[in-house]
Amino acid sequence: MIYLDYSATTPVDISVFDTLSTVTKNFIGNANSIHSLGQKSSELLESATKQIADIFGVNPSEIVYTSGATEANNMALIGAALANHKKGKHIIVSKLEHPSIYAICDYLKTMGFEISYVNNDKEGLIDFDDLKEKVREDTILVSICAVNSEIGVRQPLKMIRQIIKKENMGTIFHSDMTQAIGKVSVNMHDVDLASMSGHKIFGPKGIGFLYKSSMVKITPLIYGSGKSNDLKPGTPPLPLIAALSKAIRLANDGLEKKERFVSLLNDKITSSLSKYPNIIINKTKYSIPQILNISVMDVMPEVMVHALDKHEIYVSTNTACSSGDISNSVIAIYNDINRAKHTLRISLSYVTTTEEVNRFLKIFKEEYENLSNLK
């Protein structure tokens, strides 16, 4: 099998799985219980959270565990909207967000919030002038993803923050960091709120977190009991949390070296596929190497995905969350519907090997030439 869909999800790292299994077996107490078994769990919860907080240079109380990035995005956007609706009802998002952000915005619209979509340039970078213009006195929140999930465009969050805060100090800045964390370095201090998901970084499915700066207030969406966190009451899923902490540590180990290696693989695929006149590489100078998007103009993407699938090679159309749809990100950057209808996303990881890439290119060539009648 050649798995090239690491941006949809990743397999669990074996040592992360060991942590998951060991903690499940050995820490049966509820971290909210006051007896010694509960205490033992509570201590592990504290140390796992401290490890995560230390990696990102934040306070442990600023980490709110969620089931993944969709929940973290909901908590951030709806929570910030509810906490600030008296100050204003205006929210800004980019045109390069994950579908979950747009779904939340659609819900917020039904509650009377106004959503503006900030423009980006031809490289996918946020249009700073447009952002400056769009931030108003009643803008309570701006949400811009750190790395786009389809084309991999990475945004300069620090600069974006400066623009937002210069226009309105009170505007909260959220970033969906799901495709950034574990692939490229991030700085939590560039934002007020950030979402991430463990299953994108060789952690288990069903765990992620929302970083919430202690400087901002958001309204809880879930009510219940338990001392662990006001925003996410209930029994903390300790095995998942310990496994997430381990996955984050592993992901951040040698981050730049891993990125450089993936860059070489990306270059190899790019140069090989660019020779086909009907294949367009949807890559900008801000795309991270782990995400490689192409438009195969003369073969439908589903057909290509299934053709590769027969050889146990796995790629996706645009994103796992919007398969079958046209690519919003390709529209936002290239404004070309036909190109957006034909996208394939090849997502790489530092565990991808050169041999896998070579075999992928060989099979791709055979299947593509066959399907497009190039022979």
Selected binder of ligand PMP within 12, 64, 68, 192 (CB under 6 A): 68
SS3 92: strand
Yes or no: say if 325 and 17 are a contact pair by the CB < 8 Å rule: no
Nearest to 309 by CA among 232, 357, 364, 261: 364
d(CA 141, CA 181): 22
| Of residues 184-213, those binding ligand PMP (CB under 6 A) | 197, 208
322 forms part of the interface with ligand PMP (CB under 6 A): no
Residues with Cβ < 8 Å from 60, sequence gap 6 or more?
Answer: 46, 49, 50, 52, 53
- CA distance to 6, 262, 276, 277, per residue, from 291 (Å): 9, 10, 20, 21
Interior angle at CA 74, CA 232 and CA 151, nearest 5: 130
Closest approach of Cβ 92 to ligand PMP, in Å? 17
Residues with Cβ < 8 Å from 13, sequence gap 6 or more?
Answer: 202, 203, 246, 247, 250
236 forms part of the interface with ligand PMP (CB under 6 A): no
Stretch that binds ligand PMP, among 51-59, 162-170, 221-229, 316-324 (CB under 6 A): 316-324
In the bound state with ligand PMP, the residue whose beta carbon lies nearer, of 197 and 352, is 197
In the bound state with ligand PMP, the residue whose beta carbon lies nearer, of 98 and 283, is 98
Q: Which residues are catalytic?
A: 321
Closest approach of Cβ 361 to ligand PMP, in Å? 25
Selected binder of ligand PMP within 70, 155, 347, 349 (CB under 6 A): 70
Q: 371: buried, middle or exposed (CB in 10 Å: 19+, 13-18, 0-12)?
A: middle
Stretch that binds ligand PMP, among 50-58, 64-72, 184-192, 365-373 (CB under 6 A): 64-72
Stretch that binds ligand PMP, among 121-129, 243-251, 260-268, 317-325 (CB under 6 A): 317-325
In the bound state with ligand PMP, the residue whose beta carbon lies nearer, of 2 and 103, is 103
Closest approach of Cβ 369 to ligand PMP, in Å? 31
In the bound state with ligand PMP, the residue whose beta carbon lies nearer, of 30 and 323, is 323
Closest approach of Cβ 278 to ligand PMP, in Å? 28
What is the total count of residues that contact ligand PMP (CB under 6 A)? 15
Q: What is the DSSP string of 114-174?
A: EEEEE-B-TTS-B-HHHHHHH--TTEEEEE--SB-TTT-BBP-HHHHHHHHHHH-TT-EEE
103 forms part of the interface with ligand PMP (CB under 6 A): no
| Of residues 331-360, those binding ligand PMP (CB under 6 A) | none
In the bound state with ligand PMP, the residue whose beta carbon lies nearer, of 42 and 328, is 328
Give the nearest residue (CB) to ligand PMP. 68
Selected binder of ligand PMP within 94, 100, 120, 295 (CB under 6 A): 100
| Of residues 140-179, those binding ligand PMP (CB under 6 A) | 145, 149, 176, 178-179
User: Quick count: other Cβ atoms within 10 Å of Cβ 197?
Assistant: 28
d(CA 375, CA 370): 7
Distance of CA 252 to the CA centre of its chain: 15
Selected binder of ligand PMP within 13, 64, 84, 98 (CB under 6 A): 98
77 forms part of the interface with ligand PMP (CB under 6 A): no
Yes or no: say if 154 and 286 are a contact pair by the CB < 8 Å rule: yes
Report the amino acid identity of residue 121.
D
Tokens in use for 320? 């796992």
Report the amino acid identity of residue 51.
Q
318 forms part of the interface with ligand PMP (CB under 6 A): no
In the bound state with ligand PMP, the residue whose beta carbon lies nearer, of 31 and 76, is 76
Tokens in use for 327? 């690519």
Q: Interface residues with ligand PMP (CB under 6 A)? A: 68-70, 98, 100, 145, 149, 176, 178-179, 197, 208, 319-321
